[in-house]
Amino acid sequence: MPGQQAGGWPPRECPECRKVFEPNRANQLFCSSQHNADWNNRATARGRVLTPFSIVARVTRDGSRGKPEEREIGRKASSRHRALIQEYRDEDRAAGRMEWAEYMIHRHRLGLDTR
């Protein structure tokens, strides 16, 4: 990113702790490298669990397509996928972390997800 080290960026909120901090580079999302690692490690671990459920739910259209056995597993996968997302959302709220939709808006405003 051109001019990353120029400085003078407005304060922003850390998604992990919700505290406002002054970034030292243009694309800095978190107040510390530890909070960056915590967020990304949690997202990676959750993604590994969610991905199979998400794929099965999608390819079976939440259990409405495929052979009877595929429809059944699709419904179960869809249900588990939704339950896990709610569980993760509740954990994040209890810990005071930023909501995922807000996090994506935050990234987009910083020009990090423009493709």
58-69: pLDDT as tens digits? 999 999 999 999
Kindly report the pTM of this predicted structure. Answer: 0.88
Domain locations along the chain: 29-95
29-52: pLDDT as tens digits? 999 999 999 999 999 999 999 999
What secondary structure does DSSP assign to the chain, as a single string?
A: -TTTTS--PPPEE-TTT--EE--SSTT--SSSHHHHHHHHHHHHHHHHHHHHHHHHHHHTTTTTSSSHHHHHHHHHHHHHHHHHHHHHHHHHHHHTPPPHHHHHHHHHHTTSS--
